[in-house]
Amino acid sequence: MKLIVRKNSELLEYLYENLDMPKKRIKQYLVHGSVYVEDDRVTQYNYPLVAGMRIMIDTNSRNLKKLPFEVLFEDDHLLVVNKPSGLLTIATEKEKERTLYHIVRDYVVSRNPHGRIFIVHRLDKDTSGIVLFAKDERIKNQLQENWNEYVRLREYCAVVHGHPKEDSGQIVQYLKETKTKLVYVARGEDGKKAITNYSVVQSNEDYSMLKVTIETGRRNQIRVAFASKKIPIVGDKKYGSKDKANRLFLHANRLKIYYPVIKKDILFETSIPNEFKKIMK
């Protein structure tokens, strides 16, 4: 099924207005990765559409036994996926069903009715990249209880406005949160210590692409680090970016952990999203 966008809108609302189809079914196509905009698979309900864009809905591919995003690793104990931007990791009061956990659980149960899934760690809703799930509670507990010891590398790719003063460096801050979960840099050492390392990979007149590694895992740590240096991440409306980007340009692209099942380190990697490459041309 193909459509040409006739007016600027948001994806879910536009499809509902222009298709003879219940909104619930349209949501299922989106959640399970059957909707493409300009040949890119899109799962965001509020994805911004511009007149002239091409939409394709693959009505034959919706199958709960497939995930609408990349599976990086799967065995009897672990499932590692590449989470898209705009998707919550776990449920909130406002959103119960359209979450990474919900989609992965459906996938696991469709293959094994008695299967279970446990989230090991999280990414922000707007951050894309590597997320680990455990298939049994013992492995989940073992990984979580020893997370700081087992994690060897947490690497991100970020595109920021402007250019850092130095091509590489370390940002050490102490962070606190407001009641509304807005993170800010505390005065002195009053807060949780956050260590963020970066190096410039590529730059153009307007933007810099950075390789970022973190030594701590604080909420919104990377976003706050660069916003506080007056080079906010592209698309980060929460922390001061005023651009019109349709996503946050932050992606967790490499994660190396000690895997106790095989008693060895294992590295998970993803490619850099196409949007990041396009903006740096």
Residues recognised as catalytic: 124
The residue count of the chain comes to 281
User: What are the percentages of helix, strand and coil residues in the chain, rounded to 5?
Assistant: 20, 35, 45
Q: Is the dihedral of CA 96, 64, 122, 113 positive or negative?
A: positive
* Among candidate residues 81, 72, 93, the one with its CA nearest the CA of residue 120: 81
Cα–Cα distance, 267 to 216 (Å, whole number):
19
* Tokens 């919104």, located at residue: 220
E strand spans, the chain? 2-4, 9-10, 35-37, 40-41, 48-49, 54-57, 71-74, 78-83, 118-119, 128-134, 151-161, 168-177, 183-185, 192-203, 207-214, 250-259, 264-269
Cα–Cα distance, 156 to 222 (Å, whole number):
9
